[in-house]
Structure 1
Amino acid sequence: MPRAPGRAGANRPPVGYTPVMAEKREVARALLDRQRQTYAEEAGIRLADRPGPLYQLLVLTTLLSTRIRAGVALAAARELFAAGYRTPPAMEAASWQDRVDALGRGHYRRYDERTATMLGTGARLCLDRWRGDLRRLHREANGDPSVLRRLLIEFPGIGPTGADIFLREVQTVWPDVRPYADRRTLAGAERLGLPANPRGLSGLVGEGDFGRLASALVRVALGQENAGEVSRMAAAR
């Protein structure tokens, strides 16, 4: 008896589906279940494509770019924001000592004086070059990550690693940057047996989750998340 049209293959998995890919997706989901916040969110930044949150991400990037523990940088960022230094004018108007004191309250002491100076200089650059609005930087680069990196590196204290941090986090609100995965993201992916390339990783989660996945993989690379526990959690599902 002939089969009804469309019945053959009706229960087949989607094109490109493999058991291995399914396993990798479970690992990515397990990681996201364990790490629900990006670094920006943990610093108290409600990231959006608006001048204030984008500048706050720049501040966090400056703090994370030094050789200091991420937890200390996050605490220092929260102290700066709690003190009201959430915009370039507010950061520049604060005295150097006020910035040093806020950093100190976050235990950001080893680099506090130099970083306080860089934050003031960076705020002035943001005002002079971009009129306090990093969306202008985004538009000038036309969403090209290589151009964005070059423009970001002009800010004091932000080198190639800092530019990677900013782009990794900002891709949640600048979709044309996605999928962006820096070397630390890819190192974390390798530890979990996930694809060590941006396109491969992007196939494991929805577009809206890729920025969070990238941030979570950095935590794996830095030892802030246990790769073995993530894998066991995925296998137990």
Structure 2
Amino acid sequence: MPTPLTVKICGLSTAPTLAAALNAGADMVGFVFFSPSPRHLSLETARTLSAQVGGRALKVALSVDADDALLDGIVAALAPDWLQLHGRETPERVSAIKARFGLPVMKALHISTRDDLAAIPAYDGVADRLMFDAKPPKGALLPGGNGAAFDWTILENLSLQAPWMLSGGLGPDNVGEALRITRAPGVDVSSGVERAPGVKDEGLIADFVARARAAVALLSLGSAANPA
């Protein structure tokens, strides 16, 4: 049996769009705590949205090079199931955060060329999950959520200890192709389901989840029909 696909909708900031992600069957819902981002949440809003999730999906708190004091506040407000580190956190910092909070940690690594895969071994087995996101454009203020993709063929036949997710430039129109190429066990989307920066579109959220699930079902049928 193939491993079920994990779908994460990131950068949620309102009750209606969170409801759309939950109703669509997202496995993970992500909340951003990074002030330069248009998706940044206040701790007060995080408490409200946390209660809305009600166990229907795993809550992921995204931060960027956050110190312990900020992470303390985020964890107290959101009560996340996962911490996502999207900055330049070292493997040692990942381990320290895991030890401090007792929560699984997802580490984002930024990919542009095959050479960038050299960073993976240091984090594989330290982070509980890896995320491969596109390197931000030169001069970009945000480390993610820029709508940029990378050459997905770089990840073909990737073998890791930790589960991983594909991110960067995904949307309803290309998630099927991304899954066909990479066979990623998880996908993450933020700007690809927005109608403006930081403004999620409920229809696009539902469409993304449906197309991702359909793509995996099709790949599974193809594998069953053509066993190795």
Scaled by the length of structure 1, the TM-score of the pair is: 0.29
Bigger Rg over Cα: 1
Name the one with the larger helix percent: 1
- Greater RCO, 1 or 2 (C-alpha within 8 Å, sep 6+): 1
Name the one with the larger strand percent: 2
Scaled by the length of structure 2, the TM-score of the pair is: 0.30
